[in-house]
Structure 1
Amino acid sequence: MFVPTGADWCPPAESTLLMPAVSVGNVGQLAIDLIISTLNMTKVGYFYTDCLVPMVGNNPYATNDDNAKELCTNAEVYTLPSKNLTVLQIRSPLIKKKSRCFRQALLSWIKKSVFAKVVLLSSSHAYQRDDQQLFGTPFRYLVTPALQPFVSDVIKELEWKEMETVSLYPVVNDEDKKMSVPGGGFTKHMFEDCSSQGIKMAVVLKFCSEGDNIPDAFSLLSHLNKWLHLVELPNENVTSQWKMPVSWRLLFGSGLPPALF
Protein backbone atom coordinates (compact mmCIF):
# COMPACT_ATOMS: atom_id res chain seq x y z
CA MET A 1 0.00 0.00 0.00
CA PHE A 2 1.36 3.41 -1.01
CA VAL A 3 1.52 5.95 1.81
CA PRO A 4 2.23 9.63 0.93
CA THR A 5 4.63 11.44 3.25
CA GLY A 6 2.68 14.70 3.09
CA ALA A 7 -0.59 15.73 1.53
CA ASP A 8 -2.28 13.31 -0.85
CA TRP A 9 0.04 12.93 -3.82
CA CYS A 10 -0.73 11.80 -7.33
CA PRO A 11 1.79 11.42 -10.14
CA PRO A 12 2.06 14.10 -12.85
CA ALA A 13 -0.04 13.60 -15.95
CA GLU A 14 1.58 11.27 -18.48
CA SER A 15 4.15 10.28 -15.85
CA THR A 16 6.64 7.47 -16.49
CA LEU A 17 7.31 5.08 -13.61
CA LEU A 18 10.83 3.68 -13.26
CA MET A 19 11.43 0.81 -10.86
CA PRO A 20 14.03 -1.93 -10.31
CA ALA A 21 13.87 -5.65 -9.93
CA VAL A 22 15.94 -7.11 -7.10
CA SER A 23 18.15 -9.10 -9.46
CA VAL A 24 21.70 -10.33 -9.96
CA GLY A 25 24.26 -7.70 -8.96
CA ASN A 26 21.49 -5.32 -7.85
CA VAL A 27 22.09 -3.51 -11.13
CA GLY A 28 18.56 -2.12 -11.43
CA GLN A 29 18.63 -0.77 -7.87
CA LEU A 30 22.04 0.86 -8.40
CA ALA A 31 20.78 2.49 -11.61
CA ILE A 32 17.72 3.85 -9.79
CA ASP A 33 20.04 5.26 -7.10
CA LEU A 34 21.93 7.15 -9.81
CA ILE A 35 18.71 8.55 -11.27
CA ILE A 36 17.39 9.79 -7.93
CA SER A 37 20.74 11.30 -6.96
CA THR A 38 21.50 12.90 -10.34
CA LEU A 39 18.06 14.45 -10.82
CA ASN A 40 17.75 15.39 -7.13
CA MET A 41 14.30 13.85 -6.98
CA THR A 42 11.88 14.55 -4.12
CA LYS A 43 10.57 11.75 -1.88
CA VAL A 44 6.77 11.73 -1.86
CA GLY A 45 5.91 8.49 -0.11
CA TYR A 46 6.71 4.88 0.64
CA PHE A 47 5.22 1.42 0.37
CA TYR A 48 3.90 -0.13 3.56
CA THR A 49 4.13 -3.87 2.94
CA ASP A 50 5.02 -7.12 4.67
CA CYS A 51 6.23 -8.62 1.39
CA LEU A 52 9.74 -7.15 1.62
CA VAL A 53 12.46 -7.84 4.18
CA PRO A 54 12.16 -5.03 6.78
CA MET A 55 14.86 -2.37 6.50
CA VAL A 56 15.58 1.11 7.80
CA GLY A 57 18.62 3.34 7.41
CA ASN A 58 19.90 6.88 6.99
CA ASN A 59 19.12 9.02 3.96
CA PRO A 60 21.18 7.48 1.12
CA TYR A 61 21.06 10.72 -0.89
CA ALA A 62 22.12 13.11 1.90
CA THR A 63 23.60 16.43 0.77
CA ASN A 64 24.15 18.01 4.21
CA ASP A 65 24.13 17.18 7.92
CA ASP A 66 20.45 18.06 8.32
CA ASN A 67 18.93 15.79 5.69
CA ALA A 68 21.47 13.05 6.51
CA LYS A 69 19.39 12.35 9.62
CA GLU A 70 16.30 11.48 7.58
CA LEU A 71 15.37 7.81 7.51
CA CYS A 72 14.79 5.60 4.50
CA THR A 73 12.81 2.36 4.28
CA ASN A 74 12.71 -0.65 1.98
CA ALA A 75 10.44 0.81 -0.73
CA GLU A 76 10.14 4.54 -1.40
CA VAL A 77 8.67 6.73 -4.13
CA TYR A 78 10.37 9.79 -5.61
CA THR A 79 9.18 12.27 -8.23
CA LEU A 80 10.37 14.96 -10.63
CA PRO A 81 7.34 16.76 -12.13
CA SER A 82 9.46 18.75 -14.61
CA LYS A 83 10.30 15.51 -16.43
CA ASN A 84 6.98 13.73 -15.74
CA LEU A 85 9.00 11.12 -13.89
CA THR A 86 8.19 8.92 -10.89
CA VAL A 87 10.62 6.42 -9.38
CA LEU A 88 10.04 3.53 -7.01
CA GLN A 89 13.23 2.36 -5.29
CA ILE A 90 13.19 -1.12 -3.73
CA ARG A 91 16.01 -1.67 -1.25
CA SER A 92 15.45 -5.16 0.16
CA PRO A 93 14.57 -8.58 -1.28
CA LEU A 94 11.13 -10.11 -1.40
CA ILE A 95 10.14 -12.50 1.35
CA LYS A 96 9.79 -16.05 0.07
CA LYS A 97 6.30 -16.91 -1.24
CA LYS A 98 5.16 -13.25 -1.13
CA SER A 99 6.26 -12.24 -4.62
CA ARG A 100 2.76 -12.62 -6.05
CA CYS A 101 1.20 -10.55 -3.26
CA PHE A 102 3.75 -7.77 -3.82
CA ARG A 103 3.20 -7.78 -7.58
CA GLN A 104 -0.56 -7.52 -7.08
CA ALA A 105 -0.09 -4.51 -4.79
CA LEU A 106 2.21 -2.87 -7.34
CA LEU A 107 -0.20 -3.50 -10.20
CA SER A 108 -3.09 -2.04 -8.19
CA TRP A 109 -1.07 1.13 -7.48
CA ILE A 110 0.09 1.39 -11.10
CA LYS A 111 -3.50 1.20 -12.36
CA LYS A 112 -4.75 3.69 -9.77
CA SER A 113 -1.96 6.14 -10.62
CA VAL A 114 -2.59 5.84 -14.38
CA PHE A 115 1.10 5.94 -15.36
CA ALA A 116 1.73 6.53 -19.04
CA LYS A 117 4.23 3.66 -19.00
CA VAL A 118 6.28 1.57 -16.59
CA VAL A 119 9.96 0.77 -17.12
CA LEU A 120 11.50 -2.06 -15.09
CA LEU A 121 15.30 -2.09 -14.82
CA SER A 122 16.73 -5.56 -14.31
CA SER A 123 19.65 -7.91 -14.90
CA SER A 124 20.23 -11.55 -15.72
CA HIS A 125 23.00 -14.08 -15.10
CA ALA A 126 25.66 -13.77 -17.82
CA TYR A 127 26.78 -17.37 -17.30
CA GLN A 128 23.31 -18.73 -18.14
CA ARG A 129 23.13 -17.23 -21.62
CA ASP A 130 22.53 -19.63 -24.46
CA ASP A 131 24.56 -19.60 -27.68
CA GLN A 132 22.53 -16.89 -29.44
CA GLN A 133 22.89 -14.55 -26.47
CA LEU A 134 26.70 -14.72 -26.34
CA PHE A 135 27.19 -12.38 -29.28
CA GLY A 136 26.61 -8.67 -29.65
CA THR A 137 25.21 -6.31 -27.06
CA PRO A 138 24.74 -7.44 -23.43
CA PHE A 139 21.49 -5.45 -23.22
CA ARG A 140 18.01 -6.80 -23.87
CA TYR A 141 14.46 -5.45 -23.74
CA LEU A 142 10.90 -6.72 -23.40
CA VAL A 143 7.75 -4.76 -24.23
CA THR A 144 4.15 -5.63 -23.37
CA PRO A 145 1.58 -5.73 -26.22
CA ALA A 146 -0.11 -2.58 -24.82
CA LEU A 147 3.10 -0.53 -25.15
CA GLN A 148 4.43 -2.07 -28.37
CA PRO A 149 2.64 0.27 -30.82
CA PHE A 150 3.97 3.35 -29.00
CA VAL A 151 7.65 2.38 -28.90
CA SER A 152 8.22 0.11 -31.92
CA ASP A 153 9.62 2.91 -34.08
CA VAL A 154 12.07 4.26 -31.50
CA ILE A 155 13.26 0.75 -30.57
CA LYS A 156 13.85 0.01 -34.23
CA GLU A 157 15.78 3.26 -34.58
CA LEU A 158 17.91 2.47 -31.51
CA GLU A 159 18.51 -1.06 -32.84
CA TRP A 160 17.79 -2.59 -29.46
CA LYS A 161 17.73 -6.36 -29.16
CA GLU A 162 14.71 -8.17 -27.74
CA MET A 163 15.18 -10.84 -25.07
CA GLU A 164 15.31 -14.19 -26.84
CA THR A 165 13.21 -17.18 -25.94
CA VAL A 166 15.20 -20.29 -25.03
CA SER A 167 14.57 -23.99 -25.56
CA LEU A 168 12.72 -25.87 -22.86
CA TYR A 169 14.73 -28.98 -23.68
CA PRO A 170 18.03 -27.98 -25.33
CA VAL A 171 19.35 -30.42 -27.96
CA VAL A 172 16.46 -32.83 -27.32
CA ASN A 173 13.76 -30.49 -28.66
CA ASP A 174 14.57 -26.98 -29.86
CA GLU A 175 11.02 -26.26 -31.03
CA ASP A 176 9.47 -25.68 -27.58
CA LYS A 177 10.71 -22.32 -26.32
CA LYS A 178 9.98 -20.09 -23.33
CA MET A 179 10.98 -16.69 -22.00
CA SER A 180 13.57 -16.99 -19.25
CA VAL A 181 15.32 -14.32 -17.16
CA PRO A 182 17.61 -16.29 -14.81
CA GLY A 183 18.69 -14.18 -11.84
CA GLY A 184 16.09 -11.55 -12.72
CA GLY A 185 13.98 -11.82 -9.56
CA PHE A 186 10.32 -11.05 -10.30
CA THR A 187 11.12 -9.62 -13.76
CA LYS A 188 9.50 -12.40 -15.77
CA HIS A 189 6.35 -12.67 -13.65
CA MET A 190 5.90 -8.88 -13.46
CA PHE A 191 6.21 -8.67 -17.24
CA GLU A 192 3.67 -11.46 -17.71
CA ASP A 193 1.25 -9.84 -15.25
CA CYS A 194 1.49 -6.48 -17.03
CA SER A 195 1.06 -8.15 -20.42
CA SER A 196 -2.10 -9.98 -19.36
CA GLN A 197 -3.61 -6.88 -17.71
CA GLY A 198 -2.96 -4.46 -20.56
CA ILE A 199 -0.37 -2.32 -18.76
CA LYS A 200 2.16 -0.40 -20.84
CA MET A 201 5.45 -1.75 -19.57
CA ALA A 202 9.00 -2.22 -20.81
CA VAL A 203 11.83 -4.22 -19.27
CA VAL A 204 15.41 -3.06 -19.90
CA LEU A 205 18.08 -5.43 -18.61
CA LYS A 206 21.74 -6.35 -18.85
CA PHE A 207 23.55 -9.67 -18.63
CA CYS A 208 26.08 -9.48 -15.80
CA SER A 209 27.81 -11.35 -12.99
CA GLU A 210 28.00 -10.73 -9.25
CA GLY A 211 30.83 -8.47 -8.08
CA ASP A 212 31.45 -4.75 -8.39
CA ASN A 213 28.36 -3.94 -10.44
CA ILE A 214 28.71 -0.15 -10.43
CA PRO A 215 30.00 -0.17 -14.05
CA ASP A 216 26.99 -2.31 -15.02
CA ALA A 217 24.63 0.26 -13.46
CA PHE A 218 26.31 3.10 -15.35
CA SER A 219 26.12 1.25 -18.66
CA LEU A 220 22.51 0.14 -18.14
CA LEU A 221 21.51 3.71 -17.33
CA SER A 222 23.35 5.16 -20.32
CA HIS A 223 21.61 2.56 -22.47
CA LEU A 224 18.21 3.56 -21.06
CA ASN A 225 19.03 7.25 -21.49
CA LYS A 226 19.16 6.82 -25.26
CA TRP A 227 15.42 6.22 -25.10
CA LEU A 228 14.15 8.35 -22.20
CA HIS A 229 16.69 11.22 -22.36
CA LEU A 230 16.87 11.65 -18.59
CA VAL A 231 20.05 13.74 -18.88
CA GLU A 232 21.97 15.17 -21.80
CA LEU A 233 25.17 13.24 -22.51
CA PRO A 234 27.88 14.58 -24.88
CA ASN A 235 28.34 11.02 -26.10
CA GLU A 236 27.03 7.63 -25.10
CA ASN A 237 30.21 6.59 -23.27
CA VAL A 238 30.20 9.50 -20.80
CA THR A 239 29.34 8.58 -17.20
CA SER A 240 30.43 11.79 -15.48
CA GLN A 241 26.93 13.26 -15.85
CA TRP A 242 25.55 10.68 -13.41
CA LYS A 243 25.96 11.61 -9.74
CA MET A 244 26.81 8.79 -7.34
CA PRO A 245 24.93 9.08 -4.00
CA VAL A 246 26.90 9.58 -0.81
CA SER A 247 25.81 6.14 0.43
CA TRP A 248 27.98 4.48 -2.24
CA ARG A 249 31.14 5.48 -0.40
CA LEU A 250 30.60 2.49 1.91
CA LEU A 251 29.18 0.15 -0.72
CA PHE A 252 31.95 -2.37 -0.04
CA GLY A 253 32.54 -1.53 3.61
CA SER A 254 34.97 0.89 5.19
CA GLY A 255 38.16 -0.82 4.02
CA LEU A 256 40.78 -2.81 5.86
CA PRO A 257 41.74 -1.51 9.33
CA PRO A 258 45.39 -0.35 9.46
CA ALA A 259 45.88 -2.43 12.65
CA LEU A 260 45.92 -5.55 10.49
CA PHE A 261 49.29 -4.52 9.12
Structure 2
Amino acid sequence: MTLPYFEFVSVPGFHSQKLAGSTLLMPGPNGLGNIGQLALDLLISSLDLMRVGFISSTLVLPVCGNEDYGNETAPNTLHTSFEVYQSRPSNTTSITLIQLRSPVITKKGVLFSKSFAHWAQQMAFESVVLVTAADAGRRVDGQIRSDRLRFISTSDKYVHADRLQQLGFPRLEENETKRAWVASELASPIPPGAGVSRFIFDEFRELSVPLLTLIWFAIEGDNYQDALQLASAVRSLVNHGEDNSEQNTWKTPLSWKGLYGNAMFTKALFQ
Protein backbone atom coordinates (compact mmCIF):
# COMPACT_ATOMS: atom_id res chain seq x y z
CA MET A 1 0.00 0.00 0.00
CA THR A 2 1.28 3.46 -0.92
CA LEU A 3 1.43 5.67 2.15
CA PRO A 4 0.04 9.22 2.02
CA TYR A 5 2.36 12.17 1.61
CA PHE A 6 4.41 12.67 4.80
CA GLU A 7 7.61 14.61 4.32
CA PHE A 8 10.02 16.60 6.46
CA VAL A 9 10.88 20.00 4.98
CA SER A 10 13.82 21.65 6.72
CA VAL A 11 14.50 25.33 7.22
CA PRO A 12 17.50 26.70 5.25
CA GLY A 13 20.79 25.43 6.65
CA PHE A 14 19.35 22.48 8.59
CA HIS A 15 19.91 18.90 7.43
CA SER A 16 17.54 16.07 8.28
CA GLN A 17 20.49 13.88 9.34
CA LYS A 18 20.64 15.95 12.53
CA LEU A 19 17.36 14.37 13.63
CA ALA A 20 19.00 10.96 13.97
CA GLY A 21 19.97 9.90 17.48
CA SER A 22 17.72 12.43 19.25
CA THR A 23 14.67 11.83 21.43
CA LEU A 24 11.49 12.60 19.50
CA LEU A 25 8.52 14.09 21.39
CA MET A 26 5.10 14.32 19.78
CA PRO A 27 1.61 15.15 21.10
CA GLY A 28 -1.12 12.57 20.67
CA PRO A 29 -3.25 13.78 17.73
CA ASN A 30 -6.93 14.52 18.45
CA GLY A 31 -6.41 13.85 22.16
CA LEU A 32 -8.69 15.10 24.91
CA GLY A 33 -8.26 18.78 25.73
CA ASN A 34 -5.18 19.10 23.48
CA ILE A 35 -3.18 18.55 26.65
CA GLY A 36 -0.29 16.94 24.79
CA GLN A 37 0.00 20.03 22.58
CA LEU A 38 -0.18 22.38 25.58
CA ALA A 39 2.53 20.45 27.43
CA LEU A 40 4.87 20.55 24.44
CA ASP A 41 4.10 24.25 23.94
CA LEU A 42 5.54 24.80 27.42
CA LEU A 43 8.66 22.81 26.55
CA ILE A 44 9.25 24.69 23.29
CA SER A 45 8.95 28.04 25.03
CA SER A 46 10.77 27.20 28.27
CA LEU A 47 13.66 25.25 26.73
CA ASP A 48 14.06 27.79 23.91
CA LEU A 49 13.87 25.13 21.21
CA MET A 50 14.54 26.28 17.65
CA ARG A 51 12.27 25.57 14.71
CA VAL A 52 14.17 23.38 12.25
CA GLY A 53 11.47 22.39 9.80
CA PHE A 54 7.94 21.41 8.93
CA ILE A 55 6.03 18.22 8.19
CA SER A 56 4.04 18.19 4.97
CA SER A 57 1.12 15.75 5.21
CA THR A 58 -2.18 15.45 3.40
CA LEU A 59 -3.73 13.90 6.51
CA VAL A 60 -3.61 17.00 8.75
CA LEU A 61 -5.90 20.00 8.38
CA PRO A 62 -3.90 23.04 7.17
CA VAL A 63 -3.78 26.07 9.44
CA CYS A 64 -1.48 29.05 9.99
CA GLY A 65 -1.17 31.81 12.55
CA ASN A 66 1.06 34.48 14.02
CA GLU A 67 3.96 34.25 16.47
CA ASP A 68 3.43 31.62 19.20
CA TYR A 69 6.51 31.86 21.42
CA GLY A 70 8.01 35.34 21.05
CA ASN A 71 6.72 38.61 22.45
CA GLU A 72 4.31 41.25 21.22
CA THR A 73 7.09 43.68 20.23
CA ALA A 74 8.93 41.14 18.06
CA PRO A 75 8.18 40.80 14.34
CA ASN A 76 5.46 38.27 13.65
CA THR A 77 6.48 34.83 12.51
CA LEU A 78 4.10 32.63 10.54
CA HIS A 79 3.41 29.27 12.18
CA THR A 80 1.80 26.25 10.55
CA SER A 81 -0.11 23.19 11.73
CA PHE A 82 2.80 20.72 11.71
CA GLU A 83 6.22 22.00 12.83
CA VAL A 84 9.48 20.45 14.02
CA TYR A 85 11.68 21.90 16.78
CA GLN A 86 15.03 20.85 18.19
CA SER A 87 17.23 21.71 21.14
CA ARG A 88 20.15 24.02 20.46
CA PRO A 89 23.60 22.51 19.82
CA SER A 90 24.86 23.80 23.18
CA ASN A 91 22.37 21.60 25.08
CA THR A 92 23.68 18.32 26.49
CA THR A 93 20.37 16.54 25.75
CA SER A 94 19.31 16.26 22.11
CA ILE A 95 15.53 16.66 21.79
CA THR A 96 13.43 16.82 18.64
CA LEU A 97 9.85 17.94 19.13
CA ILE A 98 6.92 17.86 16.73
CA GLN A 99 4.12 20.32 17.42
CA LEU A 100 0.77 19.45 15.85
CA ARG A 101 -1.68 22.36 15.97
CA SER A 102 -4.62 20.95 14.05
CA PRO A 103 -6.46 17.62 14.05
CA VAL A 104 -5.84 14.61 11.89
CA ILE A 105 -8.62 14.36 9.31
CA THR A 106 -11.57 12.22 10.39
CA LYS A 107 -11.20 8.52 9.50
CA LYS A 108 -7.56 9.03 8.50
CA GLY A 109 -6.06 8.10 11.88
CA VAL A 110 -4.79 4.67 10.79
CA LEU A 111 -3.17 6.04 7.63
CA PHE A 112 -1.61 8.87 9.60
CA SER A 113 -0.21 6.41 12.14
CA LYS A 114 1.33 4.21 9.46
CA SER A 115 2.92 7.22 7.77
CA PHE A 116 4.27 8.64 11.03
CA ALA A 117 5.64 5.29 12.26
CA HIS A 118 7.50 4.61 9.01
CA TRP A 119 8.86 8.17 8.90
CA ALA A 120 10.09 7.95 12.51
CA GLN A 121 11.75 4.63 11.74
CA GLN A 122 13.42 6.10 8.66
CA MET A 123 14.76 9.12 10.59
CA ALA A 124 16.52 6.81 13.11
CA PHE A 125 15.53 8.62 16.32
CA GLU A 126 17.08 7.26 19.50
CA SER A 127 13.62 7.03 21.04
CA VAL A 128 10.05 8.22 20.44
CA VAL A 129 7.79 9.59 23.18
CA LEU A 130 4.08 10.18 22.55
CA VAL A 131 2.52 12.68 24.97
CA THR A 132 -1.26 12.52 25.31
CA ALA A 133 -4.29 12.65 27.58
CA ALA A 134 -7.12 10.22 28.28
CA ASP A 135 -10.60 10.50 29.74
CA ALA A 136 -10.40 10.69 33.55
CA GLY A 137 -14.06 9.71 33.73
CA ARG A 138 -13.22 6.26 32.33
CA ARG A 139 -10.66 5.33 34.96
CA VAL A 140 -10.95 2.15 37.01
CA ASP A 141 -10.93 2.30 40.84
CA GLY A 142 -7.19 1.79 41.22
CA GLN A 143 -6.44 4.67 38.88
CA ILE A 144 -8.75 7.04 40.70
CA ARG A 145 -6.90 6.49 43.96
CA SER A 146 -3.45 7.25 42.53
CA ASP A 147 -1.56 9.71 40.35
CA ARG A 148 -3.10 10.66 37.01
CA LEU A 149 0.07 9.93 35.04
CA ARG A 150 0.60 6.55 33.37
CA PHE A 151 3.02 5.17 30.82
CA ILE A 152 2.95 2.25 28.43
CA SER A 153 5.64 1.13 26.01
CA THR A 154 5.70 -1.16 22.99
CA SER A 155 8.93 -2.69 24.30
CA ASP A 156 10.32 -3.55 27.76
CA LYS A 157 13.77 -2.65 26.41
CA TYR A 158 12.84 0.98 25.91
CA VAL A 159 15.78 3.38 26.11
CA HIS A 160 14.25 5.37 29.01
CA ALA A 161 13.29 2.30 31.07
CA ASP A 162 15.80 2.98 33.86
CA ARG A 163 14.78 6.64 34.03
CA LEU A 164 11.10 5.67 34.29
CA GLN A 165 11.88 3.40 37.21
CA GLN A 166 14.02 6.06 38.89
CA LEU A 167 11.23 8.63 38.61
CA GLY A 168 8.62 6.17 39.84
CA PHE A 169 6.22 6.72 36.93
CA PRO A 170 3.37 4.17 37.19
CA ARG A 171 2.78 1.77 34.31
CA LEU A 172 -0.69 1.63 32.75
CA GLU A 173 -2.61 -1.29 34.23
CA GLU A 174 -3.16 -2.88 30.83
CA ASN A 175 -5.16 -6.01 31.66
CA GLU A 176 -7.43 -4.37 34.24
CA THR A 177 -8.21 -1.32 32.14
CA LYS A 178 -8.85 -3.26 28.93
CA ARG A 179 -11.49 -5.38 30.66
CA ALA A 180 -13.17 -2.22 31.88
CA TRP A 181 -13.25 -0.58 28.43
CA VAL A 182 -13.72 -3.31 25.85
CA ALA A 183 -14.55 -6.99 25.59
CA SER A 184 -11.87 -7.87 23.02
CA GLU A 185 -8.36 -8.64 24.22
CA LEU A 186 -7.15 -7.60 20.75
CA ALA A 187 -8.14 -3.97 21.32
CA SER A 188 -5.51 -1.30 21.87
CA PRO A 189 -4.46 -0.82 25.51
CA ILE A 190 -4.54 2.98 25.09
CA PRO A 191 -7.46 4.42 27.15
CA PRO A 192 -10.46 6.21 25.61
CA GLY A 193 -10.01 9.91 24.95
CA ALA A 194 -6.48 9.61 23.58
CA GLY A 195 -7.58 10.08 19.98
CA VAL A 196 -5.22 8.78 17.30
CA SER A 197 -2.66 7.67 19.92
CA ARG A 198 -4.16 4.18 20.00
CA PHE A 199 -3.52 3.72 16.28
CA ILE A 200 0.02 5.07 16.59
CA PHE A 201 0.75 2.70 19.47
CA ASP A 202 -0.59 -0.28 17.52
CA GLU A 203 1.44 0.61 14.44
CA PHE A 204 4.73 0.99 16.35
CA ARG A 205 4.03 -2.30 18.13
CA GLU A 206 3.38 -4.06 14.82
CA LEU A 207 6.67 -2.72 13.42
CA SER A 208 8.50 -3.72 16.65
CA VAL A 209 9.70 -0.12 17.03
CA PRO A 210 10.04 1.11 20.65
CA LEU A 211 7.48 3.78 21.53
CA LEU A 212 6.83 5.24 24.97
CA THR A 213 3.39 6.76 25.53
CA LEU A 214 2.89 9.12 28.48
CA ILE A 215 -0.80 9.41 29.38
CA TRP A 216 -2.41 12.00 31.65
CA PHE A 217 -5.97 11.38 32.84
CA ALA A 218 -7.91 14.63 32.48
CA ILE A 219 -11.27 16.19 31.68
CA GLU A 220 -12.19 18.94 29.23
CA GLY A 221 -11.95 22.50 30.55
CA ASP A 222 -9.20 24.67 31.95
CA ASN A 223 -6.25 22.33 31.41
CA TYR A 224 -3.39 24.64 32.33
CA GLN A 225 -2.41 22.69 35.45
CA ASP A 226 -2.75 19.38 33.62
CA ALA A 227 -0.42 20.60 30.88
CA LEU A 228 2.04 21.94 33.44
CA GLN A 229 2.26 18.66 35.33
CA LEU A 230 2.52 16.61 32.16
CA ALA A 231 5.25 18.90 30.82
CA SER A 232 7.13 18.50 34.12
CA ALA A 233 6.97 14.73 33.76
CA VAL A 234 8.26 14.86 30.19
CA ARG A 235 11.05 17.24 31.14
CA SER A 236 12.12 15.00 34.02
CA LEU A 237 12.16 11.98 31.70
CA VAL A 238 14.32 13.48 28.96
CA ASN A 239 16.59 15.35 31.39
CA HIS A 240 18.61 12.16 31.99
CA GLY A 241 19.01 12.91 35.68
CA GLU A 242 20.84 16.17 35.20
CA ASP A 243 20.56 18.60 38.09
CA ASN A 244 18.49 21.55 36.90
CA SER A 245 17.58 24.22 39.45
CA GLU A 246 15.15 25.70 36.92
CA GLN A 247 13.24 22.43 36.55
CA ASN A 248 10.03 24.00 37.87
CA THR A 249 10.47 27.32 36.05
CA TRP A 250 8.20 27.68 33.06
CA LYS A 251 7.82 30.32 30.39
CA THR A 252 4.28 30.36 29.01
CA PRO A 253 4.02 30.98 25.27
CA LEU A 254 2.68 34.24 23.88
CA SER A 255 -0.20 32.33 22.31
CA TRP A 256 -1.46 31.40 25.80
CA LYS A 257 -2.46 34.98 26.55
CA GLY A 258 -6.04 34.26 25.55
CA LEU A 259 -6.14 30.69 26.92
CA TYR A 260 -9.29 29.65 28.75
CA GLY A 261 -8.83 30.28 32.48
CA ASN A 262 -6.45 33.22 32.02
CA ALA A 263 -6.74 35.89 34.71
CA MET A 264 -7.66 38.53 32.13
CA PHE A 265 -11.10 36.91 31.92
CA THR A 266 -12.95 37.72 35.16
CA LYS A 267 -16.44 36.93 36.45
CA ALA A 268 -17.52 40.47 35.52
CA LEU A 269 -17.32 39.46 31.86
CA PHE A 270 -20.19 37.01 32.31
CA GLN A 271 -22.50 39.15 34.48
Query: C-alpha offsets along residues 163-199 of structure 1, whole Å, 9 cap, x if unaligned?
Result: 122466659x8x9585241110111211121122122
Q: Deviation at 1:211?
A: 0.8
Q: Provide closer, same or farther for how the CA distance between residues 58 and 156 of structure 1 changes in structure 2, counting only shifts above 3 A.
A: same
The gaps in structure 1 that reach 5 residues or longer are none
Specify the alignment match of 1:109 in structure 2: 119
- Show the counterpart of 2:253: 245
| 1:190 to 2:200 alignment | yes
Which residues in structure 2 correspond to 1:25-64 (within 5 Å)? 25-63=33-71
Residue 135 of structure 2 corresponds to 125
Cα separation, partners in 2 of 1:8 and 1:255, compared to 1, 3 Å: same
| Partner secondary structure for residue 48 of structure 1 | strand
Look up the SS of the partner of 1:220 in the other structure: helix
Count of residues paired in the alignment = 255
* SS of residue paired to 2:57: coil
> How far apart, CA to CA, are the structure 2 residues paired with 1:158 and 1:65?
40
Give the deviation of 1:46 after TM superposition.
0.9
Q: Provide TM-score, normalisation by structure 2.
A: 0.83
Deviation >6 Å, runs of 4+:
258-261
Separation of aligned partners in 1, 2:250 and 2:229: 11
1:162 to 161, 168, 171: 171
Are 2:14 and 1:5 aligned?
no
2:45 paired with 1:16: no
Provide the C-alpha distance between the structure 2 equivalents of 1:226 and 1:215, rounded to a whole number of angstroms: 17
Correspondence 1:216 to 2:226: yes
The amino acid that maps onto 1:2 is F
1-side partners of 2:111 and 2:186: how far apart?
A: 28
Q: Does 1:70 align with 2:70?
A: no
Asked whether the 8 Å contact 1:117–1:199 carries over to 2, the reply is no
CA offset digits 1:7-59 (Å, max 9, x no partner): 45223552010110131111110011011101111111111122112211002
Change (3 A) 1:136 1:77: same
Structure with greater proportional strand content: 1
Q: Say what the alpha-carbon RMSD is for the aligned residues.
A: 2.9
> Which residue of structure 1 lines up, in the alignment, with residue 4 of structure 2?
none
Name the CA shift for 1:27/1:170 in 2 (closer, same or farther; >3 Å). closer
**Bigger shift: residues 226-235 or 77-86:** 226-235
TM-score, length of structure 1 as denominator length: 0.86
Query: In structure 2, how many angstroms separate the alpha carbons of the residues matched to 1:108 and 1:33?
Result: 25
1:168 & 1:107 partners in 2: Cα distance?
Answer: 24
Moved more, 158-167 or 20-29: 158-167
Letter in 2 for 1:163: L
